Structure 1
Amino acid sequence: MDIAALDAIDVHVHVEQDSHGCFALDQELMDASAAYFRSGQDRTPTVAAIAEHYRERNTAAVIFTVDATAATGHPALSSEEIADLAAEQADVLIPFGSVDPHAGKASVARARRLVTEHGVRGFKFHPSMQAFEPNDQRHYPLYAAIAELGVPALFHTGQTGIGAGLPGGHGIKLRYSAPMLLDDVAADFPELTIVMAHPSVPWQDEAISIATHKANVYIDLSGWSPKYFPPQLVRAANGLLKHKVLFGSDFPVITPDRWRADFAKLEIKDEVRPLILKENAVRMLGLA
């Protein structure tokens, strides 16, 4: 990957269909998510199609799925397959893995294999979908392994469009994605790079405080059009957190074109824009 030649790095891209026609979510959740995000585009591009989409935009993409098998009963897509396919598109794709935190020692062993055998460059967690409290010490051996492997962990935080508008939110509980639960993890694993995904509404101030206080914590800006960003997040991105905020789209529900068009209209300092679009991600991912 020629980092210098890239215009941007999108740190939050979902793979929602594998090469066998299997989907990351059941149909009810897919439909509810599409309605929530008002996404009319193809929701199920393959890894190769994602690569081409980003290659045309001279942008790299961090891609992943979410393994929520224990919580949802829906079979997860294979992180191994995603990583292996990403290796064929290494000029633009950076694979993250996903392991089910409820699997205990098996997830620790799998995380190690994903990095050492499949070239995974980080891990994605979605506490609300996976139904776990990130600061539950039963999951600490998994974080210890990820920290030892020297790769970051990206956690969904705040409101989620998955299950939105369904009775009971399809059983998905938002409290698992409160950023303050990650403050414990960041404090207990200072060597672990943590990315808090999304504007963390209704806990935006918590997320800003954590990222300001903990040197090992970043915020990605995915899942929202920039025109809806809370004003305190924009202020922080322009100031205290200018080196800690990352471009992320949440593709395919939000395209990088839509996100960047709205970001261009946001009141962000000229010297901060390249930090958010690429340079902070280069440092976070250890690509320098």
Structure 2
Amino acid sequence: MIIDMRARPPSPQFNSFFQRDFLEGLATRVGAKRLSQAFCDESAHDFIDEMDAANVDVAIALGRNSPAMKSGKIVTPAGVIPNQHIVDLQLEFPGRIIGFAGIDVAGEIHNPMAETQSFVVDGDLHGIFIEPQRAFGGNPDDARIFPLYELCQAESVPVNIMTGPVSGSHVGFADPAPIDRVAGQFPDLKIICGHGCWPRVDEMIAVAFKHANVYVSPDCYLFMPGAASRYVGAANGFTADQFLFGSAYPVLPLDQAVEDFKNLPFSYTSLEKALGLNAKSLLNL
């Protein structure tokens, strides 16, 4: 079983964020060999065909509700995708697309507590995705988010937190120390580190070593120079149950992401866990 923990189906709503000029620049820098044809054609149905071709069973569609961001010459568009659209994708492609609600922790777009309650706790979505670095220029351990963490911990709602070099206005936001503090304060909260806090790989691994409730999902950044040996070394050892495959689609095409992932020096057991078994357990699928 293969579960892609970071995929954004190429619907018009998602492609309003992944504008082609923006995506081409990012995809080239992380080593994409080409853009997905389904993305170019803006077809969620063709995306399912690409899943089949890559043997991906389930794609986790991460919603997004965050403002635009500028850092030097990098301009990230605003990502405002109604969570009802994520529900609609689940309904249209049952069992193939599973959604996480995009939650605006700043409360500018919606009330984060009410939105999580409505779409996840009382609704059909399976987790939430947050970007505090973009929402209000804060870290994941900002006390303003704590009530949301408390709700998610109480209701066993997984929280995918944006990390990595473009999570905020400067690379300091990649620091996993705030994740360490959140995991310590909320030990039963299921925390997924999207982009795996790259380039702070060693610190990310250390946080996962300390906290079994922290999941590492470097997705496209797994293939950056020098990163794979450290992530995979940990996945073959103490993070075997905490490592998750992700493509970051449409940044990487699905077939390339799966093939490149399988070619890394995972043990057989660790590969099976990372490709799908860990996500299946995490999401209670």
Please report the TM-score for the alignment, with normalisation by the length of structure 1: 0.83
Can you give the 5+ residue segments of structure 2 that lack an aligned partner in the other structure?
70-75
SS at match of 1:124: strand
Write out aligned runs for 1:9-158 (5 A): 9-15=3-9, 17-18=11-12, 23-24=16-17, 29-30=22-23, 32-37=25-30, 39=32, 40-42=34-36, 43=39, 45-56=42-53, 57-69=55-67, 74=78, 76-103=80-107, 106-116=111-121, 118-130=123-135, 131-158=137-164
Name the structure 2 match of 1:205: 202
Please report the TM-score for the alignment, with normalisation by the length of structure 2: 0.84
* Cα drift, residue 148 of structure 1: 2.6
Structure-2 separation of matches of 1:157 and 1:116: 24
User: Structure 1, residues 113-151: CA drift from partner, whole Å, max 9, x if none?
Assistant: 111454110111234443331101011111122223322
* Cα drift, residue 18 of structure 1: 3.2
Identify if the C-alpha distance between structure 1 residues 127 and 16 changes in structure 2 by more than 3 Å, giving closer, same or farther.
farther
Asked whether the 8 Å contact 1:133–1:181 carries over to 2, the reply is: yes
SS at match of 1:263: helix
Q: Look up the equivalent residue of 2:47 and give its one-letter code.
A: I
Identify if the C-alpha distance between structure 1 residues 64 and 49 changes in structure 2 by more than 3 Å, giving closer, same or farther.
farther
Asked whether the 8 Å contact 1:48–1:85 carries over to 2, the reply is: no
User: Structure 1, residues 37-86: CA drift from partner, whole Å, max 9, x if none?
Assistant: 45431446444443333244252110123211386883601122122222
* Cα drift, residue 156 of structure 1: 2.2
* Cα drift, residue 157 of structure 1: 2.0
* Cα drift, residue 16 of structure 1: 5.7
Name the structure 2 match of 1:253: 251
SS at match of 1:158: coil
Can you give the 5+ residue segments of structure 1 that lack an aligned partner in the other structure?
1-6, 163-170
CA RMSD of aligned residues (A): 2.7
Name the structure 2 match of 1:167: none
Structure-2 separation of matches of 1:93 and 1:53: 13
Q: Look up the equivalent residue of 1:254 and give its one-letter code.
A: L
Structure-2 separation of matches of 1:225 and 1:213: 21
